[in-house]
Structure 1
C-alpha cells in the first residue's frame, strides 16, 4: 500500500508518462457490468501498465442522499476532502433501484485477446484517495438478515483511517479506527490491506450483468488476498476482453459478513497480461471460475448461491488445477488438499457466495510442470 499523502482528486499527482484512466462519469458503469459490444474507453497492449482511479459507491447512493458532499460533510469532512468524481457521478449518472451499487471504471480493450484466452489483472499498487471510508449493513442483507440492522434505518459506519505511530516513529502502518460504542471515547484499530473487490471482464451476453454476484467473468469476487502484487486470472469471453475494475476496499475480513467491508476510493496501478488458450490450458487447466494468485499461493475459487456447492466447486477446481499444472493424480490431489490446504470463505453477502483455496507454491518447489 502506498502511503496516503492527501486527497487524490482526478488527475492529481499522476506519474509522468503513465497511462491514466480517470473515473469520469463518461468512463464508468454504475450497478451493471460491461458486455459484448460495449465500446472500450481505453485500448492497451498486453503487458501494459496503467493507473486507474476507482470510486466507492459509499456516500453516493440514494439512501445516503445521492449527495457525497452532504453525506460526508455530516461526518466532518469539508468539501475539499470529497472526491470531485464521486460528486459528478452522483449528480449526472443514474441507476435503477434493482441494479447493484458498484461503480466500475472501464471497459479496457486488450489488443489480441480472444475467447479461450486468460486475462491476468495484476494489482501493482493501491493508494487511498481519501482518509476515510464506510462500513455498511443495509438493504436487509448481510450474514444476519432480520437480526441486523437492529433498528429501522440503514447503518453506514463512517470509518476514518490514520497512521499508527504508537512506536513513536514515522514508519507506523495505516489503520482503520472504529468506536466501541456510540460515545466514541474508545476505539479499536485494525490494519489496512487495500484491494479491488471487483476485477472482471465483459460477459458474452446481450444484457449487462448485475454488479453484485461474481461469476466466471470475475466481477465482485471480493477476495481479500488480492492486494498489491496479486493477480486474478479470468477467462476471456469477448474479443478484446473488455476489462474493468472497481469496488475499492481499504480492508476486509473473510466473509464480509455485515454486507460491506471498509469501502473507500483507491487509485490503482494495474498490469493487463494475456495468456493464450494453449498456455492457459497447460498451466491452469479448464478454469470454470477465476483463479487468484500471489507470490506464495495459488487460489482457485468456487462460486455458487449455496455455500456448500461453492465449497465443492472450489475443491473440484483445485484438483483440476493440480492435475493440469503438476500432473497430480486426482485422488492424490484430493488427499493433498485435505492435509495441506486451507479453504476460506471469500464472502457470503454477494448473492453468489465464494470460497477460495490457498495452495502453497513452496510445496511444489522442484516439481516439474506437467
Structure 2
C-alpha cells in the first residue's frame, strides 16, 4: 500500500500510548514550532457513520500544527478487489466474516439493530471518518480554521491494479432522481465504478463499468434488498457488469465530502445531514487550497474528516459523488472568541469556506436541525428538508457576512447579492439540503 510520505509523528505515537489521560496532560505547553501529526486509516483510527463529542481523540494538536489524514470511502466494498484487497488499512476497516466485523458500529443508531435490523448502528449515518483531532485550547465560542494544503488519491493495494485508483458512484434510493425514472426497470439502483489516475497526470476520471444493485446477503446473514447499510460486500457473481460512459471524461475535483467538528447536542450524531458544525456538506470546493471555518461546540473541537470524493457536481443529484479514498494534509488554526472582532469569523455560527478568490457561505434547510427539530431531529430531518428553506438560510448568512465582515448596510448587501453573488444547490441528498452562496473577493479591490 502506497501512502503520502509525510511520516507518523512522535506526538501521534504518544497519544496512542498515553491512554485515558486528560486533554491538558496530552496538550501541555505549545511547542516552539508547528508539529506534524499523522493519522493512518485503519479499524482503530476511524469512526463509521457518526460524529461524537465522546469519541477519544487520535491526536492532540496545537494551533498551527499540521495533520495528515488518511481517509477511506465507505463505498469501497462496491468493488473490493479494486478498493480493499491488498490495502492493510482498508482491509482492517472492511473486515467482516460470520463472527465479527473490523468496525462494528456503522451509524448513530442502536448497536443491537433493534429499529430496522440492518446491523449495528443501523446505517443511520454512513461515512467513514478519520479522527478526531483534539485542538488544544479550543472551547465553545471559538472558531477552528482548517486549511486544506494537499490531497492525493490512495492507490489500489491490489497488485492486479497497481498504479491505479478507483471510486464508486451510486445512483441510489435516496437520490433526487429515484422516483422519477423513465426507463425500465424503475426503482433500480445503479453503481458505476470509475478509474482515477493516482499520479495526477490525467485530471479526469473514466468509467470502468456499471452494474445494477441486486439483493446482497451480508456475512451475518442479513439480506439487503437496497443499499441500506454501509460496507456490505457486493458479490459480483450476482451482478452483471456493463459498459458505461464510453469516451466521457469526468473532471477531477478532489475534496472532503464530510469534514467538521463534534456537535454538542447529542452523544452520537448521524453523519449524513450537515449542520452548523460542518459535516456532510458535499461541496466540491472543499479541497486543496480551500480553508474551512467551523464554530467550536465542544472542548477540543474534535475535528474529523472523511467521505473523500474524486469528483462531484453541484447537487450530487443521484445520491453520491465519485466516492474514493484520499489522503489529505491540513493545518489547524484556532481563533479564540476574544480575538474575533473585526475578522471574517466574528460571530460565525455556520461553516464558512474561503478560497483564494471567493468566500462561500453554506445554508441548510435547518441551520441547526439538532436544536430546531427537538428530540426526534435525527429522524425528522429527512422528511422536512426543502430548497426554499436552504436558500433563505444561505441568503441570510450572506447578508450577515456582507454587513458584518464587509461593513455594508442591509440595502447595499441585498443589492450586491442580486448582481454579484452566485447561489447554487450544494446537495439534495443529505437529509438537510444545502444551498451555497458565493461572493468574489475581487469585487472588493481595496480590501485585497
The answer to whether the aligner puts 1:200 opposite 2:260 as a matched pair is yes
- Tell me the CA shift for residue 41 of structure 1: 1.3
Paired with 1:52 and 1:186, the residues of 2 have a C-alpha distance of 34
Q: Which residue of 1 aligns with 2:420?
A: 340
Paired with 1:268 and 1:344, the residues of 2 have a C-alpha distance of 26
Unpaired stretches in structure 2, ≥5 consecutive residues: 10-35, 96-101, 107-120, 156-164, 211-241, 366-384
Secondary structure class of the residue paired with 1:14: coil
Q: Which residue of 2 aligns with 1:177?
A: 206
Aligned pair partner of 2:194 in 128, 134, 159: 159
Kept after mapping to 1: 8 A contact 2:193/2:208: no
Spell out, residue by residue over 1:198-224, the C-alpha distance to the aligned partner (whole angstroms, 9 max, x if none).
Answer: 110011134211000000110001111
Q: Which residue of 1 aligns with 2:237?
A: none
Q: Which residue of 2 aligns with 1:40?
A: 57
Kept after mapping to 2: 8 A contact 1:180/1:188: no
Structure 2 matches for 1:195-274, cutoff 5 A? 195-274=255-334
Paired with 1:344 and 1:262, the residues of 2 have a C-alpha distance of 20
- Tell me the CA shift for residue 15 of structure 1: 4.4
Q: Which residue of 1 aligns with 2:39?
A: 21
Secondary structure class of the residue paired with 1:312: helix
- Tell me the CA shift for residue 160 of structure 1: 0.8
Kept after mapping to 2: 8 A contact 1:199/1:232: no
Question: RMSD between aligned alpha carbons?
Answer: 2.4
Structure 2 matches for 1:116-195, cutoff 5 A? 116-130=141-155, 131-138=165-172, 140-148=173-181, 150=185, 154-162=189-197, 172-178=201-207, 182-183=242-243, 186-195=246-255
Q: Which residue of 2 aligns with 1:167?
A: none
The answer to whether the aligner puts 1:296 opposite 2:357 as a matched pair is yes
Greater mean alpha carbon deviation, residues 288-297 or residues 359-368: 359-368
Structure (1 or 2) with the larger CA radius of gyration: 2
Q: Which residue of 2 aligns with 1:112?
A: 137
- Tell me the CA shift for residue 298 of structure 1: 0.6
The TM-score, its normalising length taken from structure 1, stands at: 0.85
Q: 1:221 to 1:78 in 2, by over 3 A?
A: closer
Spell out, residue by residue over 1:216-259, the C-alpha distance to the aligned partner (whole angstroms, 9 max, x if none).
Answer: 11000111111211011110001111111111001110011110
Paired with 2:246 and 2:407, the residues of 1 have a C-alpha distance of 54
Kept after mapping to 2: 8 A contact 1:175/1:191: yes
Structure 2 matches for 1:29-68, cutoff 5 A? 29-35=47-53, 37-60=54-77, 64=78
Larger RCO: 1 or 2 (CA < 8 Å, sep 6+) = 1
- Tell me the CA shift for residue 297 of structure 1: 0.3
Structure 2 matches for 1:276-355, cutoff 5 A? 276-284=336-344, 285-304=346-365, 305-355=385-435
Q: How many residues align?
A: 339
Greater mean alpha carbon deviation, residues 97-106 or residues 347-356: 97-106
Spell out, residue by residue over 1:80-102, the C-alpha distance to the aligned partner (whole angstroms, 9 max, x if none).
Answer: 3xx32222112211222242210
The answer to whether the aligner puts 1:87 opposite 2:87 as a matched pair is no
Paired with 2:266 and 2:424, the residues of 1 have a C-alpha distance of 33
- Tell me the CA shift for residue 340 of structure 1: 0.6
Kept after mapping to 2: 8 A contact 1:283/1:324: no
Unpaired stretches in structure 1, ≥5 consecutive residues: 1-6, 65-70, 164-169
Paired with 1:23 and 1:180, the residues of 2 have a C-alpha distance of 27
Paired with 1:134 and 1:33, the residues of 2 have a C-alpha distance of 23
Paired with 1:361 and 1:324, the residues of 2 have a C-alpha distance of 15
Paired with 1:278 and 1:296, the residues of 2 have a C-alpha distance of 27
The TM-score, its normalising length taken from structure 2, stands at: 0.71
- Tell me the CA shift for residue 47 of structure 1: 1.1
Paired with 1:364 and 1:152, the residues of 2 have a C-alpha distance of 49
Q: Which residue of 1 aligns with 2:118?
A: none
